[in-house]
Amino acid sequence: MAYYRITGGKPLHGTISVSGAKNAALPIICATVLTGEKCRIENLPDIEDVHSILMILEDLGATVERPSTDVAIIDPTTINKLRVSMAMASKLRASYYMLGALLGRYGYAHIALPGGCPIGERPINFHINGMRLLGADVRDVDSESTPQQVQYALELLEPGSEVSSEEQRSGFVIASGKELHGGEIFLDMPSVGATINIMFAAVRAEGRTIINNAAREPHVVDVANFLSACGATIRGAGTDVIRITGTKKLHGCTYAIIPDQIETGTYMIAAAATKGDVIIKNVIPAHLEAISAKLMECGVEVTEGDTGREFFLRVRAKERPRACNIRTLPYPGFATDLQQPMTALLSVAIGSSVIVENLFENRFMHTRQLNRMGANIRLDGRMAIVSGVEKLYGTEIEATDLRAGAAMIVAALMADGTSIIRSIIHIDRGYEKLDEKLRALGADIERVEE
Ligand code: UD1
């Protein structure tokens, strides 16, 4: 078990570069299955979730080469299994992307229900309904299914295949459909996962699919760009209506992942929190407008620059931030993934802030940890009322999930004294070389392996 020891109060100064986007890399790795040819994926972040998803591909029989930590060459032609086991699926949320990818390519997929951060109920009903509309027979089981429902789902199992009683209890999905066809889908919410998973099934289906109320996140566009580079016909990614014309064959390609907007936002907040002056390279400023606007509202200076070769952002703060209100929304609204680190910053703001979490009902676990450091945060359902305090004090805290971990890092960097952050396995899932990058900016952070 590793933990971080951080002594706060040191302003961050200097330049860092962000890694490739986790939430683009994970579905793009899964999408290589759809191509049936070798693909070279570049600018991959070196994080646990990427290691896990590549392990899932290898478990299915794909061949993965890693010429360097930011590149994977994936050959899906050796896939000989269409099932993601419970042990594999529980490693990360994005394992659900294998449902659309395997169904689209092979007409069959059997996936144990995915793991991921415990930030709410996180159903996958939109994914399943979408695939049914494309003609797939999809049968799902969860912890509340009756024995009859379990039996009905098991009838779709491939001959010779079995489902352990543990997996039956925790849940699984089997999808079958050799002849998928296009269809028109309306998502009740612009779900990132459902938009991408339906896109996966649709690129190999016969005819045209329209996804209405689609998610508009930059990583949805990146996945669509990858699939287009492999020969798919996708129009409208980045808007709320995506049109896909299915094709019988996709080919391999070389593709570089976009920079991580959440990692960038986290370093922007950390720079502001420590009253620092940081230049963040390898960013796409347009993806960061919501966080930039909120930081500026708090009195932080955010400027964009262009070296001619790449864009960068400079974040400078001299004083305690002013309070501001936040409502998380699907892109281009304020990202739910940045709500947690932003709460840490606002805990020391001048005045009171109201934070409303609209996407995930249980994404406030970090507030308890912040209160242990001296913050004054009161919860009321999906709302957090943050009364700014002058300072936080270092203590032993826990990263209860990935972005709660980012919030703990921000809090510890600005706190008086030393903090110990435990359960950093969650942070490892999404942040590449976090301690090295922060040390390069002057932070007093040490990773201790127990
Ligand atoms: C993805 C990201 C996660 C990010 C989130 C929102 C990955 C692996 N994870 O999660 O980091 O915080 O987007 O940007 O990329 N919903 C349903 N039914 C469904 C699907 C979603 O009700 O079938 C609801 C969810 O409960 C949530 C909302 O829709 O309230 C948005 O969820 P979604 O965008 O799908 O998030 P995830 O794919 O779980």
Strands 208-212 and 184-186: parallel
Asked if residue 298 and residue 189 are part of one domain, the reply reads no
| Separation of alpha carbons 74 and 67, rounded Å | 11
Produce one character per residue of 254-275: b if its CB has 16 or more CB atoms within 10 Å, e if not. ebebbbbbbbbbbbbbbbbbbb
Q: Does the beta carbon of 21 lie inside 6 Å of ligand 1?
A: no
Q: Does the beta carbon of 193 lie inside 6 Å of ligand 1?
A: yes
Asked if residue 289 and residue 180 are part of one domain, the reply reads no
Tokens 């406030």, located at residue = 364
The pLDDT assigned to 170 comes to 87
Q: Does the beta carbon of 140 lie inside 6 Å of ligand 1?
A: no
The CA-atom distances, in angstroms, between 340 and each of 17, 97, 365 are: 22, 25, 9
Inter-axis angle of helices 336-346 and 365-372, to 10 degrees?
Answer: 20
Closest-CA residue to 212 (of 326, 299, 130) = 130
Produce one character per residue of 288-303: b if its CB has 16 or more CB atoms within 10 Å, e if not. bebbbebbeebbbebe
Q: Does the beta carbon of 363 lie inside 6 Å of ligand 1?
A: no
Asked if residue 336 and residue 206 are part of one domain, the reply reads no
Asked if residue 245 and residue 268 are part of one domain, the reply reads no
Question: Residue 385, CB half-sphere, CA atoms under 13 Å: how many?
Answer: 4
Closest-CA residue to 85 (of 114, 63, 51) = 114
Ligand 1, atom 21, lies closest to the CA of 191
Q: Which helix (H) or strand (E) holds 356?
A: strand 352-356
The CA-atom distances, in angstroms, between 130 and each of 95, 127, 193, 345 are: 17, 5, 11, 39
* Contacts of 5 by beta carbon, 8 Å cutoff, 6+ apart: 418, 419, 420, 421, 445, 446, 448
Asked if residue 283 and residue 252 are part of one domain, the reply reads no
Closest-CA residue to 434 (of 92, 53, 2, 1) = 2
Ligand 1, atom 33, lies closest to the CA of 191
| Separation of alpha carbons 365 and 396, rounded Å | 15
| Separation of alpha carbons 412 and 251, rounded Å | 47
Closest-CA residue to 256 (of 92, 429, 39) = 39
Asked if residue 311 and residue 211 are part of one domain, the reply reads no
In single-letter form, the type of residue at position 359 comes to: L
The pLDDT assigned to 143 comes to 87
Asked if residue 35 and residue 7 are part of one domain, the reply reads no
Asked if residue 220 and residue 193 are part of one domain, the reply reads yes
Asked if residues 288 and 265 have their Cβ atoms less than 8 Å apart, the reply is yes
Asked if residue 249 and residue 223 are part of one domain, the reply reads yes
pLDDT in tens, the chain (450 residues): 899 999 999 999 999 999 999 999 999 999 999 998 999 999 999 999 999 999 999 999 999 999 999 999 999 999 999 999 999 999 899 999 999 999 999 999 999 998 887 878 888 999 999 999 999 999 999 988 999 999 999 999 988 888 998 888 889 999 999 999 999 999 999 999 999 999 999 999 999 999 999 999 999 999 999 999 999 999 999 999 999 999 999 999 999 999 999 999 999 999 999 999 999 999 999 999 999 999 999 999 999 999 988 999 999 999 999 999 999 999 999 999 999 999 999 999 999 999 999 999 889 999 999 999 999 999 999 999 999 999 999 999 999 999 999 999 999 999 999 999 999 999 999 999 999 999 999 999 999 998
pLDDT tens profile 334-346: 999 999 999 999 9
Asked if residue 302 and residue 213 are part of one domain, the reply reads no
Asked if residue 306 and residue 220 are part of one domain, the reply reads no
The pLDDT assigned to 117 comes to 79
| Separation of alpha carbons 106 and 22, rounded Å | 26
User: Counting every residue, how long is the chain?
Assistant: 450
Strands 376-380 and 352-356: unpaired
Specify the ligand 1 atom closest to the Cα of 120.
26
User: How far from chain centre, in Å, is Cα 34?
Assistant: 21
| Separation of alpha carbons 259 and 70, rounded Å | 12
Specify the ligand 1 atom closest to the Cα of 359.
30
Q: How many CB atoms lie within 10 A of CB 150?
A: 18
Tell which one of 192, 199, 217, 339 to mutate to probe ligand 1, the residue whose CB is within 8 A of the most ligand atoms.
192
Residue where a domain terminates, one of 256, 284, 317: 256
Tokens 């360097």, located at residue = 68
Asked if residues 343 and 373 have their Cβ atoms less than 8 Å apart, the reply is no
Q: Does the beta carbon of 223 lie inside 6 Å of ligand 1?
A: no
Helix/strand/coil for 398: strand
Asked if residues 153 and 140 have their Cβ atoms less than 8 Å apart, the reply is yes
Ligand 1 center–CA 120 separation, angstroms: 10
pLDDT tens profile 10-32: 999 999 999 999 999 999 999 99
Q: Which residues are catalytic?
A: 117
Q: Does the beta carbon of 124 lie inside 6 Å of ligand 1?
A: yes
Asked if residues 9 and 414 have their Cβ atoms less than 8 Å apart, the reply is yes
Model confidence pTM above 0.85:
yes
DSSP per-residue codes, 137-201:
EEEEE-TT--HHHHHHHHTTSPTT----HHHHHH-EEEEE-SS-B--EEE-SS--HHHHHHHHHH
Q: How many CB atoms lie within 10 A of CB 41?
A: 24
Q: Does a cis peptide bond (omega within 30 degrees of 0) precede residue 218?
A: no
- 71 burial (CB, 10 Å; 0-12 / 13-18 / 19+) is middle
CATH no. for residue 410?
Answer: 3.65.10.10
Residue where a domain terminates, one of 214, 238, 256: 256
Specify the ligand 1 atom closest to the Cα of 26.
8
Ligand 1 center–CA 122 separation, angstroms: 7
Helix/strand/coil for 2: strand
Residue 335 backbone dihedrals phi, psi, to 5 degrees: -65, 130
Residue where a domain terminates, one of 224, 256, 288: 256
The pLDDT assigned to 160 comes to 84
User: Which tokens in the block code for residue 73?
Assistant: 């060459």
Asked if residue 236 and residue 147 are part of one domain, the reply reads yes
The pLDDT assigned to 161 comes to 87
Ligand 1, atom 30, lies closest to the CA of 359
Q: Does the beta carbon of 126 lie inside 6 Å of ligand 1?
A: yes
- Domain of residue 273 covers 2-19+259-449
Q: How many structural domains comprise the chain?
A: 2
